[in-house]
């Protein structure tokens, strides 16, 4: 049977990256996506912006929406202080299975909890089932039409506190117009656009960083 792109990406990690070395896992995926097959990881260019935001926030509790193969999961987890936790939600079981192996290869499984399921179902369970109070940082990188409803859901569930940071991928390509309009016009958010490019291409894309004001 034919392999899938996530399976080929995992093979490239297992072949080219050193077990327990997160940076080599990130490099191996970027090299695979630049030289062999494009894949929808946040990538190296936007990844540097992600790294700088994570380092600045220095979060204790992070939520990632949309794990895919675990590329941004590894980038974020690699920068977390000891005892910090990253919860990442993935809807697609095939993506989740690959991501678990990529995260394990990087040696960061202690810092990461990958949960399979729909964000709309899981977000309301964060407090009770996952012992979360509020999130210091949320990285939105899942279905683009879920960014806005899930942000409103996080507000409603009391998962955001004054100063919580939302960082959203793909606000230009594929685009999240309703989400952008919301965080840029709402008095409850202070937003900033980081212009970049769609991973591994010259197409414009960017990250939107929004501070929840409470």
Cβ at position 154, least distance to ligand 75Z in Å: 13
Q: Which of 61, 119, 170, 196 binds Mg ion (CB under 5 A)?
A: 170
Alpha-carbon distance 54 to 46, whole Å?
Answer: 12
Measured CA distances, 169 to 50, 108, 132, 137, 214 (Å): 9, 22, 23, 13, 22
Indicate if 199 belongs to the active site. Answer: yes
Q: Give, as ranges, the residues between 179 and 198 that touch ligand 75Z (CB under 6 A).
A: 198
Q: Tokens 């202080």 map to which residue?
A: 81
The token duo for 133 is 């109070």
Alpha-carbon distance 176 to 146, whole Å?
Answer: 9
Residue in 30, 64, 169, 205 annotated catalytic: 169
Q: Give, as ranges, the residues between 58 and 97 that touch ligand 75Z (CB under 6 A).
A: 65-66, 68, 89-92, 95
Question: Which span sits near Mg ion by CB under 5 A: 1-9, 131-139, 141-149, 158-166?
Answer: 141-149
Alpha-carbon distance 7 to 24, whole Å?
Answer: 18
Question: For binding to ligand 75Z (CB under 6 A), which residues are involved?
Answer: 40, 65-66, 68, 89-92, 95, 118-119, 141-143, 146, 169-170, 173-174, 198-199
Which residues are marked as active site? 141, 144, 169-170, 199
């Amino acid at each position: 049977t034919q392999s899938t792109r996530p399976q080929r990406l995992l093979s490239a990690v297992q072949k080219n990256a050193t077990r327990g070395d997160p940076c080599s896992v990130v490099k191996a995926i970027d090299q695979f996506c630049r030289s062999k097959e494009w894949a929808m990881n946040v990538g190296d260019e936007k990844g540097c912006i992600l790294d700088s935001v994570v380092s600045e926030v220095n979060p204790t509790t992070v939520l990632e929406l949309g794990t895919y193969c675990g590329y941004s999961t590894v980038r974020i987890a690699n920068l977390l202080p000891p005892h910090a936790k990253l919860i990442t939600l993935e809807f697609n079981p095939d993506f989740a299975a690959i991501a678990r192996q990529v995260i394990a290869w990087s040696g960061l499984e202690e810092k990461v909890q990958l949960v399979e399921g729909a964000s709309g179902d899981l977000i309301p369970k964060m407090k009770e089932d996952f012992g979360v109070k509020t999130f210091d940082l949320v990285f939105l990188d899942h279905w683009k039409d879920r960014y806005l409803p899930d942000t409103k859901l996080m507000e409603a569930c009391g998962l955001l506190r004054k100063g919580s940071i939302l960082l959203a991928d793909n606000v230009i390509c594929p685009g999240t117009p309703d989400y952008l309009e919301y965080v840029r016009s709402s008095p409850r958010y202070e937003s900033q656009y980081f212009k970049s490019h769609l991973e591994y291409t010259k197409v414009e894309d960017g990250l939107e960083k929004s501070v929840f004001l409470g």
